[in-house]
Chains A and B, each alone.
Chain A
Amino acid sequence: MIEFKDVNKYYGKFQALKDINLKVEKGQVVVLIGPSGSGKSTLLRCINGLEEITSGQLLVNEADLHDKQTNLNDVRKNIGMVFQHFNLYPHKDVLNNITLAPKKILKLSQEQAEKEANELLTKVSMLDKAASFPAMLSGGQQQRVAIARSLAMHPDVMLFDEPTSALDPEMIGEVLDVMKKLAAEGMTMVVVTHEMGFAKEVADRVIFMENGVILEDSPAKTFYENPKEERAKQFLSKIINH
């Protein structure tokens, strides 16, 4: 479903991704971890073309993202993305945040779009806030709306870029619960997160990155209990013991 072949990514002279080879199969949940600046967010953002790769090949749903002929808008329709800072549209209420893209791109009628939005809001337990504006919601609530907004395009892949890092500890659970629900439904997910509980429970694989290189790619259980790489061990001991 997603395949990186010898992908390199430069920002000017700085190499953010080095010879990335990675395959994510349909229905898999892959967690990316690593220290800040390791390239995990960059890797994630390449998948929906928010960042352009410099060389190599990146296939998503059989579309070659590095090919000039590929229409990125079409590719993005099928890839949802959830951001660290939610990025809800502050000038639109919750309902209109969700219905905008389905109305403009999938050409759904107002009625149909609202019907689907309400179903999604029910799914993320936010139906009672449909008429609220983002500024009136807590971080956890905003993030759940943001997830509903991405799902409204019926994506086959969901990308999560540190979805709980900007949240109060109390609200992390409600967002992770929604993500777990999605994983259980068989959604293909790539998640940048340090939430170990989540990773252990739902991830098929954990990918550890540092300095733009994939150092380890292991089943979640193996990774947390017995990481192969020394650097991964160090990293884990730091995030556990703080």
Chain B
Amino acid sequence: MDFSGAFSWVNIRFLLEGLWVTVQVAGISIVLSFIIGGLIGLVRFAKIPYLSKIVGLYVEVIRNLPLLLIIFFTYFALPQIGIRFDIFWSAIVALTIFESAMLSEIIRGGLNAVPNGQMEAARSTGLSYGQGLWYILIPQGLKKMLPPIVSQFIALIKDTSLAVIIALPEVTHHAKIIYGQSTNYVLPMFVAMTLLYFLVCYALSLVAKQLELRFK
């Protein structure tokens, strides 16, 4: 087999363009799902009347659906009721909906893991519930949450590959187009994808390790 043509300049560039889309979609989804998941986690932790029940239902429903279905739903079904996103934003919206539900559970669990006495001590000095959350519970909870949050972020990066199904021009999609040209390119492209996904995810876990050390 002749693998030499696989890594032509044009192909490498095309692959990296795909990687850039992967990174953008993942990056935006990470930020959005962390914010939304954080808010949901806080609402459920604080047991805010009504709201807590509503977002609880959201989490239960979303957690029990396959991400693929949510991606399809966002791209194909929502336009029929007038909610239309392009491919790029459909992927982000679907990932955000799915991952925020996952993250909210991690965040709620992390806050629950802080002993009750911490909030009581804060309240007993006159701090409000919000101040207790912000100065006492969240900093302690974050420390406990950091490893599972990072795992969830890494899962999110990998999940972007599912958006290949709506032809998001990310790295898997671009690799597919390249190896579609010649069976000689199949193995090299899969090796290249393996490396690229690994590098991006591993880089994130290294950053997280540094963060964890700084927290200690």
Interface residues of A (CB under 8 A from B): 48, 50, 73-74, 76-77, 79-81, 83, 85, 87-91, 100-101, 104-105, 146, 149-150, 152-153
Interface segment among B6-14, B123-131, B147-155: the answer is: B123-131
Interface segment among B82-90, B133-141, B169-177: the answer is: B133-141
Determine if B126 and A50 form an interchain contact, defined as CB atoms under 8 angstroms apart: no
Q: Among A76, A83, A85, A146, point to the contact of B126 (Cβ < 8 A).
A: A76
Q: Among B117, B124, B128, B140, point to the contact of A85 (Cβ < 8 A).
A: B117
Closest CB-CB distance, B77 to chain A, in whole Å?
Answer: 45
Determine if B121 and A87 form an interchain contact, defined as CB atoms under 8 angstroms apart: yes
Q: Does B118 contact A (CB under 8 A)?
A: yes
Closest CB-CB distance, A123 to chain B, in whole Å?
Answer: 17
How far, in whole Å, are A88 and B117 apart by their CA atoms in the complex? 9
Q: A100-B135, A104-B135 are in contact. Are A87 and B117 (CB under 8 A)?
A: yes
Closest CB-CB distance, B129 to chain A, in whole Å?
Answer: 9
| Residues of A close to B125: CB separation below 8 A | 76-77, 80, 100-101, 105, 149-150, 152-153
The residue in chain B whose Cβ has the minimal distance to the Cβ of A101 is: B125
The residue in chain A whose Cβ has the minimal distance to the Cβ of B129 is: A73
How far, in whole Å, are A77 and B136 apart by their CA atoms in the complex? 17
How far, in whole Å, are A81 and B123 apart by their CA atoms in the complex? 10
Q: A73-B128, A89-B136, A100-B135 are in contact. Are A50 and B123 (CB under 8 A)?
A: yes
Closest CB-CB distance, B22 to chain A, in whole Å?
Answer: 35
List 5 interface pairs A-B (beta carbons < 8 Å), by A numbering.
A48-B124, A73-B126, A87-B118, A101-B126, A150-B124
Decide if the interface of chain B is mainly helix, strand, loop or mixed.
helix
Determine if B121 and A89 form an interchain contact, defined as CB atoms under 8 angstroms apart: yes
How far, in whole Å, are A73 and B124 apart by their CA atoms in the complex? 8
Q: Does B143 contact A (CB under 8 A)?
A: yes
The residue in chain A whose Cβ has the minimal distance to the Cβ of B139 is: A91
Determine if A76 and B124 form an interchain contact, defined as CB atoms under 8 angstroms apart: yes
The residue in chain A whose Cβ has the minimal distance to the Cβ of B140 is: A91
Closest CB-CB distance, B112 to chain A, in whole Å?
Answer: 16
| Residues of B close to A50: CB separation below 8 A | 120, 123-124
How far, in whole Å, are A88 and B122 apart by their CA atoms in the complex? 9
| Residues of B close to A81: CB separation below 8 A | 120-121, 124
In B175-209, the 8 Å CB interface with A consists of none
| Residues of B close to A77: CB separation below 8 A | 125-126
Determine if A101 and B140 form an interchain contact, defined as CB atoms under 8 angstroms apart: no
Q: A73-B128, A104-B127, A105-B126 are in contact. Are A83 and B136 (CB under 8 A)?
A: no
The residue in chain B whose Cβ has the minimal distance to the Cβ of A82 is: B124
| Residues of B close to A150: CB separation below 8 A | 124-125
How far, in whole Å, are A149 and B115 apart by their CA atoms in the complex? 18
The residue in chain B whose Cβ has the minimal distance to the Cβ of A76 is: B126
Contact with A along B108-121 (1 / 0, CB 8 A): 00000001011011
Q: A91-B139, A91-B140 are in contact. Are A83 and B128 (CB under 8 A)?
A: no
How far, in whole Å, are A81 and B126 apart by their CA atoms in the complex? 10
The 8 tightest CB contacts between A and B, nearest first, are A101-B125, A87-B121, A77-B126, A87-B117, A81-B124, A76-B126, A105-B126, A91-B139
The residue in chain B whose Cβ has the minimal distance to the Cβ of A78 is: B126
How far, in whole Å, are A77 and B143 apart by their CA atoms in the complex? 29
How far, in whole Å, are A150 and B124 apart by their CA atoms in the complex? 8
Closest CB-CB distance, B121 to chain A, in whole Å?
Answer: 4
| Residues of B close to A83: CB separation below 8 A | 117, 120-121
Q: A50-B124, A89-B136, A149-B125 are in contact. Are A104 and B117 (CB under 8 A)?
A: no
